[in-house]
Each structure stands twice: as C-alpha cells, then as structure tokens.
Structure 1
Amino acid sequence: MIKRLPILALAYLCLISTVSAQDLRGRVLDENNAPVPGAYIIHQDSEHHAHTNPSGYFVLPGVAVGQTIQVTHVGFESQTIEITDLSREITVRLKETSIQLDEVVFSQDINPVQTLSRVDLKLNPVNNSQVILRKVPGLFIGQHAGGGKAEQIFLRGFDIDHGTDINITVDGMPVNMVSHAHGQGYSDLHFVIPETIERIDFDKGPYNADKGNFATAGYVNFQTKRAIDKSSVTVEGGSFNTTRTVGLFNLINETKNHAYVAAEYLSSDGPFESSQNFNRINLMGKYGLTLDDGSDISLIASYFTSQWDASGQIPVRAVQSGQITNFGALDDTEGGTTSRMNLALNHSKMINDKLYIRNNVFYNTYDFELFSNFTFFLEDSVNGDQIRQREDRKLFGAESAVTYSDYFSGGDYALTVGVGLRSDFSNDNELAGTKNRDSVRFVTQRGDITEGNYYAYANFDLNLNRLRINPGVRVDYFRYLYQDELTPEYDPNSLTAAVVSPKLNFIYTASDQVQVFLKTGIGFHSNDTRLVLERPNNEQILPQAFGADIGGNFKLAPRLLFNAALWYLRLEQEFVYVGDAGIVEPSGRTARRGVDVGIRWQAIDWLYFDSDFTYSYARSIDDPEGENLIPLAPRITTTAGLSVEKNGFAAALRARYLQDRPANEDNSVVAEGYTILDLNANYKFNAFTVGFLIENLLDSDWKETQFDTESRIRLADGSLEAEPVSEIHFTPGTPFNFRGFVRFTF
C-alpha cells in the first residue's frame, strides 16, 4: 500500500489539474494598444494552441493555474506567461522588434501572404501616397496628369486603367468609384496619409467571397493605425520646389481609449517646364474605444482636397522634331481639382467563444473636375479638343458579417456570413468640350446617376488535419438609374441585374516549411450605368471573370522564403482605353495566363533581399491571331530590393523593371519598357530621424505612361499638320529627384 501512495498522489494531482483546467480568454495588443491579429498562442503544457482574430482576441482551452503559455508573432518579441488567474481575461502586450524570417512558419490558420506583407511594409515604409499600391507584389503604377489624378494600374497582364479590375478599400471604405466621370472603377488613393498605414491586406485573383465588384485581378485593403504611442512632425523638401509637412498627434492612448489626428500638406512644381502648381491637403482623425462587453468601436473622419496643372500626354513626333522637350507641353491648360470627405464607423465584438461579429458603415462626399486634351486639334481645328470631365458624388454603404468559428480556440472550422449595401449618387456627371478651362464649346453627356449594389456572401473554412478547404459564394444585385439632363423632360431610365460568384479553394500545409494551394473562383466587374442603359439587351451588364491559381509557399532555408503561382484568368468582357475621347469602352472576351514568383531572404540579421517576378500572356479571344494582343498589357515585370536595418540606421535600394509591351492590337506600335532605381536612407537618434529619398537614382530617360493615340497638332510655325497621325503619346517619367526630411518625435 505504501508503495502505491506516490502513484495515487500523482493520479490525484492529474485529476485536480484536469478538473481545474479551463478556457483561457485573452487579447494580444501591441505597444500602441492596437490589436495584433494572427498572433500564435501556444499552451506549453499540452498540444493546444490558438491564434488571435482581427480584434486580437483568442480562446485557449485546457489551461490550469500555474501553467504557461507562449505568445509569438513575426516582428514582435515572444512572451512566455505563467497563468495565475483564469477568472478574468488577460491582456498581452507585445513589443515590436526587428523582423526575423526564421520565425515565419506556414499554418493553415494564418495567411502567409499577410505575414510577408507585414515584413515588406516594416522594411520599406511608405511615405508617398502615389506609391502605396506598389506594396502589392507585381503591381505597377503610372502617373500621367500632374500628380493629382489617380494612378494608372498594371497587374497580372491587365492595364487596369484607374481601377477597373482591382478592388481597393481603406478601413472597409471603397475607393473604386462606379460610373465615374473619367472611367469605371476610378480609384484615387491620395486621401490616405501614408504614415497612418498599419497593415496591407491583399490577394490576387477572384477567390475571396467577401470581395465583390472589381475583384477580378485582385483586391487591396489598407488598414490605418488604431492608435499611436507618440506624436511626430515631419518636414520634407527637395527637387522641383517640392515641400511636404506631416503631423501625427497622439491625443489619447489608454488601454480602452485611443485617439489621434494626422495632417499632411504637399506642394510641388514638378519636373515640367510648365509648373504643375500641385498642392494637396489631408486631414484625418481616428477615435477608438473598447467597451466592457468586449466591443471595439472606431470612428474615422477625414478630408482631402487637391488641385494641379498638367502638361498632358505629348506625341513622340513633337519631341523628335525639336518642337518641345520631353518635359514640354502642347497644351499646358490641362489639370484639375478634386476633394473627398469620409466618415466611417467600425464595430466588432466577440459575443462568445465562437461567435464574432463586425459591422461598418460609411458616408463619403466627393467632387471631381478634370481637364484633358488627348488629341489636340483632331476634332476642332480652331479651338482644340480639350475636354472636361466632372461630377459631384455622395456615397453611402454598410456591411455586417458574423463569424461562427472555433478557430480562435485552435479548432477546425469557421463560417462567415455577411450582407451589405452600397449606394452611389453622382450628380452632374458630365463630359464637355472646353477651351482654356473656362469656355464650354459643347456638352456631350450630363446627367444624374444613381447606382445601388446589394450583396450577401457566405464563406466556410474547414481544416482536415493539414488540408484546409474553403468554399464560398457571393450574390450581388445592382440597380441602375440615369436621368439625362440634356433631354427636356424628366424621364429616368432604369435597369436591374444580378450575378452569382462561387469560390472553392484548397490549401495543404505539408509542414511548417511547405504549403501548396489550388484556388478557383468567379468574380466580376460592373459596367458604367450609362453603357448598361444604352444596351439593355447586352448580356455583359456584369461581365464575369473565371480564375484559377496553383502554387505554393516554401521555406527553403531558415531565412529564405519562396512563393510561386501559375494562374489563369478569363474575362467575359474587357475594357479598352479610347484616347481620342478620353473614355473607356467595353470590348470582347479576353484570356490571360502567367506565373508569379517571389523571394524573401534575410542574409544576416540586418540585411534583407526581396524580389517579385511576373510573366503574363494576355490575348483577346474573339480577334484573329496577330491582331488579338491587348494594348498596354504588361508582359514581364520585376521588382527587387536590398534593405538594411541596424542600430537606428535603415536604408533600401530598390529597382523596378517593366518590359516593352504592345500599344495596339497587332504590336505595330510598342510602349517602351524601363528600369528605375530608387534609394532611401534614414538615421534615428534620440527624438530625431533624418533621411532622404532619391527617385530615379541613375537619372534614366523613361516614359511613365504611354498610349497609342491619333492626334493632330499645331506646329512650331503656327500651322496645323496636314493629316492626323497615330503614334505613342506619353508622359515622361520623373528624372533624378532628391528629397530630404527631418522628423521629430515627442
């Protein structure tokens, strides 16, 4: 009996431990009291684990007092915590540290793309709102209207124009403008202050049920900081009389109460002979509150206004003849003004261990006026062909999504169901002919557009050991209404349409170092209300995109990450830029296929290398061979960079390459490619940070945007060309450009 006492005592202790084991509830925050989603919580006395949801909450089962947990996340110092009380929720604060790629592991619970996005953003912070989209691997942009117009976007064999085939949001608010005066899906991100960006969420292809209109080539969501721990003021100055001032001011930073405001002013003459007279003002405020019931609430308010002049897209022949230089102009009265006001309220709550709800509602006002002259004197040999595109818009939307899941406690399934709406009211949406911005020669279009999008989606995740199966479906319903103000009577035209978009994805995590996937899905982009109502019997009101990706993520060495994907995407309808009218028109079916490759390598603790390569083959399906190329579709793009971060010093040398590409359907006109190097560096000491940014380090002569356009110009002697000419019209890329800055943090 005495010999059996130790065994009985051990059994008793195990019984007590089992009985006293409970669910441990907690939340993981960073030093700014902002949630850390995707943090890994490991129970060191068992095999149980959990990870945090988007609000930083987790539930870890089977924990007893006296046991320990470990909390980890890439870019933060790991913490080991002994549990002393299970009666209340614990709060874990992680301290930010340098990125260590050997800490990255692949899991079916965590998207490695988002982890790599965090790595890229930390190593190469964005300080220019015109380049924040470049944080998406394989995405290229081009500016061709004085710095104030939305950028032209290229991704996966698409010339997306200003946003036709990519879904862009900020804090849940849509950036794409439907039935915009300048083009469908127009996306102006200049209202975002780069220093406020905390996370970038993105994916390529039409594979996400919660992403709707325009999510064909992919989507990008920018998340602004919930809170800041310190205030800062930054002053920049440099080439072309460029000045920029940014302030971030911490008002409140408590555990359950956060508030800050941010402001930006930017002005520049630009490299052109005729000054751009560009200026922009951004104001933003964000307030966050955590209630005792676990609800998270954030209120965002922002205002943006910008105005600029532009030298436009100039024909190659005018430069080659010596009539103008690369930075000259044939019509320097181009330019525009725009402004946007945003209000957004976001709410999320863990209702219980398995039920999580999030809601958001937003209201935006927006105005836009753009003057362009693409063809000079082609249509009007006396007054010229300047056009004005303008609108005054109000936008309202809301979305609610409920997730029922045991993922937060290390379980195997999650079901998310969401519903939402978006209503656009675009008044005085106009295309008119003008001269010198003030004389209206004619009005081609003017009317009021009302467009509503109502949607619902369901997304299911099921983990079967190492295999994750992710089916989803989305239903979108649209209502179009247009009142033509050029007709004498009030007789609005209307139409409705709906589209169903199923998805099915498979992700197999073979080990911490190997993960492979197969993604399939159908997405869509909507058409302009006016085009839809002009062609009510056209089946392509909501043209669909059919996509598939197969690839994987691989950890080839402790600090070497590699990802690759083969992809295919077929569209029922393409959009084509029409230079002589300055508009975008739909055309026929297209198909694209290609490969994406990415590398992230940490050579030593303070030296990082990253590179992304894309190859795309894009063709029109309905046109004959040899005449079926898609104008301006990129073929090969490559980006690469070396980053250094050590002892307060940080620097990066970055390169981007865009190969020659066809400018028309038979490749008889070619848009020239380019290679550009940029360099930035900064040093932080005490409360000060000093640094510089050099764009186009080698002072390359390059064409940032190019179009095959037919035009007729006035020659140097004042006479008009005898006949129109169709050739490349371009906006020159910025030459060597230096900017220095000083930041004071307090």
Structure 2
Amino acid sequence: MRNYLIILMLSAVSFQLHAQTFIQGKVTDRQTHEPLENAVIRQGREKSVLTDAQGNFRLSVRHPEDSLLISYVGYKPLCICAAQCCDDTACCTNGVCRRGIDLQLERQDIDLRTVTIVPAPHASFHTISQIDLRLRPVNSAQDLMRLVPGLFLGQHQGGGLAEHIFYRGFDADHGTDVNVSVDGVPVNLVSHIHGQGFADLHFLIPELVTHYDYGKGPYYAEYGDFTTAGYVAFRTADVLDRSEVKVEGGQFNSGRVMAKLDLLNAEALRRGQSAYLAGEAAYTDGPFDRAQHLRRLNLFGKYNTSIARTKLTVTLSAFESGWRSSGEIPQRAVGKGMIGQFGYIDSAQGGTTGRVTAILKARTDLTRGWLFENQAYYMHYYFTLHYDPTFFADDSVHGDQLRQQERRDIAGYNGRLSKHIYFDGGGDLQTAIGLGAQANWIGLSTLEHTVDQHVVLDTLQAGLPREYAMNGYVDENFHWGKWLVNGGLRLDWTGFRYLDYINPPAAGRAKLIASPKLNISYTCNNNLQFYLKLGKGYHSNDARVVIVQRGLDVLPAAYGADLGVNWKPVPGLIVNAAAWTLSLQQEFIYNADDGTMSPGGRTLRRGVDLSLRYQLTPWLFGNIDINYCRARDLQAAKGEDYLPLAVPFSSTGGVELKFRNGWNGALSYRYMIDRPANADNSLVARGYFVTDLTANYTRRKWEAGVEVQNLLNTTWREAQFETVSRMRGEAAPVDDISFTPGTPFFAKLKFGIFF
C-alpha cells in the first residue's frame, strides 16, 4: 500500500511539472525598439520575473488562460495571456499559447500604483533610480549625481574641478570611495595628481542619460575598486526618441546651448541601425568677485548596428574645459571684513582639463541562451590646476601657490558571459562570469611651487606613475519561490610602478585581493520584502604612496552589512529602509596640497537610511531621503576620534507636479547638519538648507522653462576644509576653516524645440 501511495504522489508531481507551459518573450520600447531591462512580468499575486539586459523573460504558467501583467516605470502596463497578446485588461481565454512574444510598451506618465516589489537583486534601488530620473529635474551632470539618495556634492575650484563627494559617512574626496562609471567605462582615475579615484563627470551631457543605477556598500561583484561607500552607474541612450535643440541663459553671464540629432531614419532603426550626434557648449562667470570665465565644450556620438547575432556599438566623445577660481577663502578673512563672501585672496587660480574617449562594445547572443559581452575602450586625458589654499603659511615672501599637472592614456577591457537558466519546478538561476583589465600610462605627473602660475620656484613631486589592474568575478543569483540568494566572488590584482624624478628609485609593488559577496532577500508578497547584504570591498592606494611610503596598505579592505526592507504600505507609496555598518582596515586621507597620503587607523561607520517615494494624485509626487551616520576612528582616543567632514545627518526631498496640459515643475531641498571639520571637533563645518525651483511648459514640439537655484537666497558654504593658512600681514599661520561659498539666488530661462 505504501509503495502505491509513493507512486501516486510522484505521478501527481510529474503531472504538475509537465502541465506547466513556459511563456517567453522580449519587452521593448515601442518608440525606440530598445530592450527594457528589469521590466516586471507578473502572474497573479505570487509569481513574478524580471526581464534581463536584453529585455528577455521566461515564466511558467499552468493554463493557457492565465493572465500576465507587464509593467515598467514610466510605461503603460500591458496585459497578455498564454493564448494571445491583447492591449486591454480583459484577457482572451481561447487560442494557442504563443512563444517568443514581442511585447512593446508605450510610454506614459509615471504611476506608482503599478510598481511591484519583486525578488530580484538590488531591484529596489533600480526602481527608485528610474522614478527619480523621470520625475526630478536634471540640468547638469551634478544633478544626476544628486539623484542618488544621501549623496552630496561640493565644488571648491571654480566649477571646473571634479566635485567633492560625501556619501554614507565618507568624505570621499573626489571619488576615493564611490565607484562612478558611464556606459560601463570607469570614470574614477587611479593615482590622479589631485586625488585617488578622481571622478570628473563634466564630460557627460545630462540629456543623453536614459538610465542610472546605484548601490550602497561593497555588495556587488560587478563593481570593484572604489566601491566602499557604493557605486553610481550611468547609461546613455543607444537610440534617441527625438532630436532636440535647447538654449539656456541666466544671471552671472551664464549661457548654454545643447543639441542632439538623430542621423538615421525609421527604416534604418527597423534594420537594427541607429546613429546620433550631440553637443554642449556652456559658459558662466559665476557669482564671484573675480569672474570664473568657466567654459565647457562637449561632443558625443554613438552608432549601433546589428551583424548576425551581434549588436555592435561605437561611441566617441570629446570634452574640454577651462576656468578661473577664487579657491577656498579663510572664514576669518570674511569675518573681519577683509573680503566679501565671494571675494578672493589669490587671483592666480584656475585650470584646464579635457579628455577624448573611444568605446567599442559587442553584445553577442550565443547558442543555448548564453550572452557574451565584450567592451574595449581608450581614453586620452590631461589636467592642469593652479591653486593656493594656504597663501603665505610656508613661504612668507613668494606665497604658497601650487601647480598640479598630468597627462595620461588609458586602455581597458570589460568582458561578461551570462546565462539565465529556468527550472521546470519554477525556480531560476542567473549566472555571470566577468573579466576586466585596465592600464594607466601616466606621463610626467608634477606638483610644483609657483609664482604667477608659470614661474616655478620648486618641484615638490615629479615622476612617471604606472598602474595596471586585472579582475575577474563570478556572480550567481538563485531564485526559488519567495527566496533570492545572490552570491559572488571577485578577484582584483593591481600592480604599481613609479619612476621618481626626485627621490631614489624604488621597486614596484603588486597585490591580489579577494572580495566575497552574499545578498539574501525574502519577498513576502508584491508589497513587502526583507533583505540582508554582506560583502567585502576595497579602494586602491595611489601609486606614489605605494612605492615611496611602502608601509601603507596597497589595497585596504572594507567590510559591510545592510539589513533592510522594501515596502508598499499603500498603492502610491514606496518605502526603502536599511540599517547598515561599514568597517575599513585603514582610512586614508589624500592631502592634495602637498601630494602626500596620511595613513589612519581602523574606522567604523554605522547608520540608517530611509527613502520614500509617493504619489498623492495623478499629477502630484513627492520624495524624501533621510540619512544618519555615526563615523569614528577606532584607534583614536575618545573625543579625538571624529572622522573629518563625515556627515552625521542629512536629508533631501521635494515635490514634483506633472499636469496633462503641459505644465510641470518641482520644488526641492537639500539639508546637511553641522559636522566635524577635524578629529577633535574643535573646528566645525557649517550645515545648510538650500531650496531649488523648476517650472516648465511642455508641448509636443517645444518646451519653455525657468530654473531657480537657491530660491530663498540662503548664505551657505558648498565646500569647507580645515586648513592651516596665513594671509599677508599675519604674524603666524592659523588653523582655521577655509571654504568656497555656495551659489546665491540664481535664475535662468531655457527654451527647447523637439523634432
């Protein structure tokens, strides 16, 4: 009897497995025919899958009449059934199951009620990023970075230098602890003369960005160097949805012209070909007493074609910028009335920079469901900066003016082999194997003591840095029922050489580091998910420091953990909350003033992040991000263990309005509390509360608008540092706060035409 029961049970299970039908297809944008990654295909309340990078999906159903709902942020939901595809919500119940359905979604206004919580790695961040990119006004590359919840920027050299980044309790300098990439190519520059991981994003034209993604912490196998606080990845359009010409003009002699032009017709797009050119020219004098004369020129082009089973993409871009700067001014100079808020001490500050980039990418569909992606890139880059933060502290006669210069060539490769495997029982496995390499050939890199910018008094640092890196990783995502387990292992090897023109020669160094990752999520239903993230990451050191100061760690590690929840308590509200901790083996502070790295002890950061996105009406949206962090040096005495400029509490938020008659706009704020400027908190960097306003009237063929920065004309400081400086006439150097003032009330008009 017992044997009969066993046979009966096995037969029932076998019948259920064989009774299932697999629906597979591809989800694309109806207008551009581009695949939509992370579109949600949902069956009922319990079962859902996401599309992959190619827009493909596969889902098992039990009956031909089962209904499926396909949704994506900013697109009209589409309902299909196993029998046929239909454009309304009433699914057909007859017919034969269709396989390989081509599902084209049509764009529409965002509706948060259609957003679903799904069991996918890092899907919550992707959802928030797409909501913000489509709702919040973006007028510059800096606005793109500020979309990341909890990330703040500070500019301290006339608008032409890469912004200072503050994120998750890190004063990340210009990118030391935040991995930044565009179209898969790293933006962070290793062993940069002005700071390790220098990430200058001014080459990016904001109107070309169609996707951006971010992650907090060191939990992602795909991202390596500098991914301690997290990563930010931008992706430009492969296909333009329309051509556009835009003109902007405002206070402080500010102006900008942007154009993006589609070069091929609809017939070429149907054949898998597309091409466009884009350009940007901008100028401003800024609010400073000494006009900035900031100029910026960007050119960008992209071409796509399909050859057999391969999509080939070629991208070319060029960027050039120059500026004058008032630099950082001591707060005592303003307090004593020596200069105004927008005054200067040294008029000979400023710089030039530029880059030329070429990218070749091939994406090939292999047999048996494998996808093979290959990307090669080359970049030529140059940088010159004249700056003077200390004035007469070191040289009371000639002054302390400095000049940094470098040129470099970069070549790199990124490869990825991936496959999505579906099990008859209902689970699936996504597997990916990655391989990458980068070589930095840096020409003469110098730090010089100068007068009047070009007269060299002393060469403080000069040499030829070389840095080579290779990496490989395995990333596995196993999904079964309500559980998703993501495990990864990444290996990074970095080699350093430095031909020192001042000090005796030293041997090169190299190191290999392994970074395991583990992410687990449990999705209770379409409205509630819990997750745990564990991982190890690192940021590399500067080649000059590794070779000359051989006692410092080459690749100091970071260990992190996040415990969080994604929740939709009501249809129009999305909540992401997490408690986190991050420990660093050794903290480094790069002193760009004299080109040295200061080693620190072990550090610990703990915090809580909260993000809310809500829709009150079809035309009214809101967002708020709240971030708390406690950052300490574990090896310093109590009271002297503060991490300078680590932000204890910050918040951003706002409301967005989108009316069907064409009117749209936003009111937003940025808030940062006072924070320690040095280890014992005896110097304090002031916090600020700044509001911005945007209003537009948009029609099918044109748009007109106004943008107001600092609507309430708040007096604030954008960048602040502890600096030992000495002004002319002072008897001795003074340890003080030096700062760059934030933009006052600034309004500009814009007008664009679409065709």
Amino acid at match of 1:736: F
1:291 to 1:89, Cα distance in 2 relative to 1, 3 A: farther
Name the structure 2 match of 1:249: 261
Q: How far apart are residue 274 of structure 1 and its match?
A: 0.4
Separation (CA, whole Å) in 2 of partners of 1:492 and 1:564: 49
Superposed, which structure 2 residues align to 1:471-486 within 5 Å?
471-486=487-502
Name the structure 2 match of 1:29: 29
Q: How far apart are residue 288 of structure 1 and its match?
A: 1.6
Q: How far apart are residue 119 of structure 1 and its match?
A: 0.5
Q: How far apart are residue 65 of structure 1 and its match?
A: 9.2
Name the structure 1 match of 2:102: 91
Q: Which moved more, 1:588-597 or 1:104-113?
A: 104-113
Name the structure 2 match of 1:665: 679
Amino acid at match of 1:332: S
Separation (CA, whole Å) in 2 of partners of 1:445 and 1:434: 13
Contact 1:76 1:97 in 2 (8 A): yes
Q: 1:406 aligns with which of 411, 415, 421?
A: 421
Separation (CA, whole Å) in 2 of partners of 1:56 and 1:454: 30
Contact 1:50 1:407 in 2 (8 A): no
1:314 to 1:408, Cα distance in 2 relative to 1, 3 A: farther
Q: How far apart are residue 66 of structure 1 and its match?
A: 9.6
1:48 to 1:354, Cα distance in 2 relative to 1, 3 A: farther
Separation (CA, whole Å) in 2 of partners of 1:109 and 1:132: 24
Amino acid at match of 2:297: I
Name the structure 1 match of 2:7: none
Tell me the SS of whatever aligns to 1:526. Answer: coil
Tell me the SS of whatever aligns to 1:597. Answer: strand
Contact 1:55 1:348 in 2 (8 A): no
Tell me the SS of whatever aligns to 1:340. Answer: strand
Q: Which moved more, 1:600-609 or 1:581-590?
A: 581-590
Name the structure 1 match of 2:692: 678
Q: 1:305 aligns with which of 315, 320, 340?
A: 320
Tell me the SS of whatever aligns to 1:122. Answer: helix
Name the structure 2 match of 1:420: 436
Asked if 1:363 is matched to 2:378, the reply is yes
Contact 2:195 2:592 in 1 (8 A): no
Q: Deviations over 1:649-683 (max 9, x none)?
A: 11100001000000111111100000000000101
Q: List runs of 5+ in structure 2 lacking aligned partners.
A: 1-14, 86-94
1:67 to 1:557, Cα distance in 2 relative to 1, 3 A: closer
Name the structure 2 match of 1:9: none
Name the structure 2 match of 1:467: 483
Separation (CA, whole Å) in 1 of partners of 2:593 and 2:48: 60
Tell me the SS of whatever aligns to 2:134. Answer: helix
Superposed, which structure 2 residues align to 1:339-738 within 5 Å?
339-352=354-367, 354-406=369-421, 411-486=427-502, 493-538=507-552, 540-578=553-591, 581=594, 584-647=597-660, 648-714=662-728, 720-738=729-747
Q: Deviations over 1:213-238 (max 9, x none)?
A: 00000001001111112211000000
Amino acid at match of 1:32: T
Superposed, which structure 2 residues align to 1:211-230 within 5 Å?
211-230=223-242
Contact 2:373 2:417 in 1 (8 A): yes
Name the structure 1 match of 2:119: 108
Separation (CA, whole Å) in 1 of partners of 2:69 and 2:576: 28
Superposed, which structure 2 residues align to 1:8-27 within 5 Å?
24-27=24-27
Name the structure 2 match of 1:6: none
Amino acid at match of 1:587: G
Q: How far apart are residue 57 of structure 1 and its match?
A: 2.4
Contact 1:483 1:493 in 2 (8 A): no
Q: 1:131 aligns with which of 116, 122, 143?
A: 143
Q: Which moved more, 1:344-353 or 1:478-487?
A: 344-353
Separation (CA, whole Å) in 1 of partners of 2:631 and 2:111: 38
Q: List runs of 5+ in structure 1 lacking aligned partners.
A: 1-14, 715-719
1:446 to 1:616, Cα distance in 2 relative to 1, 3 A: same
Contact 1:658 1:674 in 2 (8 A): yes
Asked if 1:322 is matched to 2:337, the reply is yes
Contact 1:28 1:57 in 2 (8 A): no
Separation (CA, whole Å) in 2 of partners of 1:85 and 1:183: 62
Tell me the SS of whatever aligns to 2:263. Answer: strand
Amino acid at match of 2:35: P
TM score, norm. by length of structure 2: 0.91
Contact 1:29 1:91 in 2 (8 A): no
Tell me the SS of whatever aligns to 2:444. Answer: strand
Asked if 1:157 is matched to 2:169, the reply is yes
1:661 to 1:682, Cα distance in 2 relative to 1, 3 A: same
Name the structure 2 match of 1:181: 193
Tell me the SS of whatever aligns to 1:102. Answer: helix
Separation (CA, whole Å) in 1 of partners of 2:288 and 2:39: 48
1:408 to 1:224, Cα distance in 2 relative to 1, 3 A: farther
Separation (CA, whole Å) in 1 of partners of 2:62 and 2:316: 42
Q: How far apart are residue 332 of structure 1 and its match?
A: 1.7
Q: Which moved more, 1:47-56 or 1:225-234?
A: 47-56
- Equivalenced residue count is 720
Q: Deviations over 1:422-457 (max 9, x none)?
A: 111111111111111111111111111111111111
Tell me the SS of whatever aligns to 2:586. Answer: coil
Separation (CA, whole Å) in 1 of partners of 2:502 and 2:592: 24
1:128 to 1:386, Cα distance in 2 relative to 1, 3 A: same
1:48 to 1:327, Cα distance in 2 relative to 1, 3 A: closer
Separation (CA, whole Å) in 2 of partners of 1:444 and 1:382: 18
Tell me the SS of whatever aligns to 2:569. Answer: strand
Contact 1:24 1:86 in 2 (8 A): no
Separation (CA, whole Å) in 1 of partners of 2:581 and 2:640: 21
1:19 to 1:467, Cα distance in 2 relative to 1, 3 A: closer
Q: Deviations over 1:385-409 (max 9, x none)?
A: 1111111011111111111322699
Q: Which moved more, 1:52-61 or 1:145-154?
A: 52-61
Q: How far apart are residue 292 of structure 1 and its match?
A: 3.8
Q: Deviations over 1:252-303 (max 9, x none)?
A: 251311111110000000100101010000000011223442x222211100
Amino acid at match of 1:728: I
Q: CA RMSD in A?
A: 2.3
Asked if 1:237 is matched to 2:249, the reply is yes
Q: Which moved more, 1:71-80 or 1:85-94?
A: 85-94
Separation (CA, whole Å) in 2 of partners of 1:532 and 1:389: 20
